[in-house]
Structures are given as C-alpha cells and as structure tokens.
Amino acid sequence: MPTMTTFQFGKHKKSTNHGKPVKITVLGQSAVGKTALCVRFMTRRFIGEYDPTLETTHQFRTFVDGDPGPVDFEILDTAGQAENYLTQSQIKWADAFIIVYSVTDRCSFDEVMRLKFIINKTKDREVAVLIVGNKIDLTFDRMVSKEEGEKLAKSLNCSFLEISVRESYDDVKYAFLKVYHDMKHLTKRTSSPKLFVRSKSSAQIRGLTPEVPRPRERSMSVVHQVPLPQMDQFMSSLNE
C-alpha cells in the first residue's frame, strides 16, 4: 500500500512555475547511483548506501539564476531490480528524464537504449532526456568510454554528461539544471514553432546557478513510497 506524506514547498516566495513543479523521472539500472544523485542534489551530501528497493518522490525548491523566483522540482527516483521497475505512469507523469548508467557497468549502459525506447513509445511528444554516465571517479574500473556515451546520446537525440555523484556536487547540480533548461527550450520551441530559440551553451548554463540552493528557502520531502510494479504488466499494457 503506498504511503503518502503531505508536504508544502517553501513559503517565502511564489515559485516561477506557479505551483506546477518541473517533474523529472530518474531512470536506470539498479546500483548506478540514482538515489545518490537525487539526494546529492537536494542535500549536497553524498551518502554511501540506500535501500535499493524504495521508490521515492521528492519535492525540492531551488533557485535558477535567470528565473525571477525559485523553481519547484518534483523528482521521481525509481527503484527495482533490472527489468521490473518501469510503469507507463512513471513515464507519463514526467516532463523530463534523466537516464543514469555507471561507466563501470556495461550492462547498465546497454539498458539506456531500452529505456529511451520505452520513453519514446510512451510519450506522445518530444521530451527532454539527459543521459548521465556516473562513477567516473572509479577510473580503473571504467568499462564504458566517454566517446561511447556521447555517441549513444547523439544517436538517441539526448543530452549527455559524465559525472561523479561522489566527487562533485556541482556536476550533480548542473545535471538537473541542464535537463530543466533543455525542457524549457523544448517547450518554447514546440509551443511557438516559428520562433527561433537559441540553445544556451554549457558555460551559459553553468553560469545560471550562483545561489543554488539558498538554505532558508530550500525544502525537501519524501512524498510517497510505492511497491515495485511488474515489467511484464507494463510491457503488455504498451501493446494494448
């Protein structure tokens, strides 16, 4: 039975997205660092071990320079064993996606393509997807090169980053802001097709966040935890 904890975003200011949080689903094989990524973004801390079976939704408010007020995020940290964790609703729910793999695990890299395929099949519109190669601090265990990651992301029409959640809070922060920025760019482009909107460079995006996060207006909460759904149910629902 899912549990629900009620929660309010910070009360100091209205968010720029006016009560409509940016919804990001974080996908990827088990143990690639999805929970570490989410927790690092919200708390700045790297905490070594998490329950790998818990699926969690977090609400988080932070500042993005260039936006007049704080931005509300809702982040769904998916969980589960290999193939058994995706539901259509998890994908339909989101505005944007982060697909994580570990550069030390080729199997998790191979999973990225399948996940992107499921996103394409489920969403009826183009959505922002960021592919993240995590654990680059484990230099000697690397199995997937940066070039392979870049090539895959390009072929799937996704943005790409390599990071170490363990080593760098800035990389993690940048990953979330990158996907937020990509999403905004895509929304503008699709809602006004005749308008030419220039994409910002990585350096410009990095410059977006001098004050992230402001502790007094930062807030976080676990919203719900749900049991793991079955992949076969999901796959059959896709074919209906």
Ligand X SMILES: Nc1nc2c(ncn2[C@@H]2O[C@H](COP(=O)(O)OP(=O)(O)O)[C@@H](O)[C@H]2O)c(=O)[nH]1
Q: Where are the extended beta strands (E) located within 50-201?
A: 55-63, 70-77, 96-102, 128-134, 159-162
54 binds ligand X (CB under 6 A): no
Q: Do β-strands 3-4 and 159-162 pair in parallel, antiparallel, or remain unpaired? A: unpaired
Which one of 137, 148, 150, 162 is in contact with ligand X (CB under 6 A)?
Answer: 137
The closest alpha carbon to 160, from 207, 97, 106, belongs to: 97
50 binds ligand X (CB under 6 A): yes
133 binds ligand X (CB under 6 A): no
Among ligand X, Mg ion, none, partner that 137 touches (CB below 5 to 8 angstroms by kind): ligand X
Specify the stretch interacting with Mg ion by CB under 5 A; choose among 79-87, 177-185, 195-203, 213-221: 79-87
* CA–CA separation, 153 and 52 (whole Å): 26
Residues 5/224, Cβ–Cβ less than 8 Å: yes
35 binds Mg ion (CB under 5 A): yes
57 binds Mg ion (CB under 5 A): no
Of the pair 138, 143, the CB lying nearest ligand X is at 138
* CA–CA separation, 176 and 165 (whole Å): 12
25 binds Mg ion (CB under 5 A): no
Residues 43/220, Cβ–Cβ less than 8 Å: yes
35 binds ligand X (CB under 6 A): yes
Residues 170/28, Cβ–Cβ less than 8 Å: no
Number of residues that bind ligand X (CB under 6 A): 19
166 binds ligand X (CB under 6 A): yes
Of the pair 58, 61, the CB lying nearest Mg ion is at 58
The binding site for ligand X (CB under 6 A) comprises 28, 30-36, 48-50, 52, 134-135, 137-138, 164-166
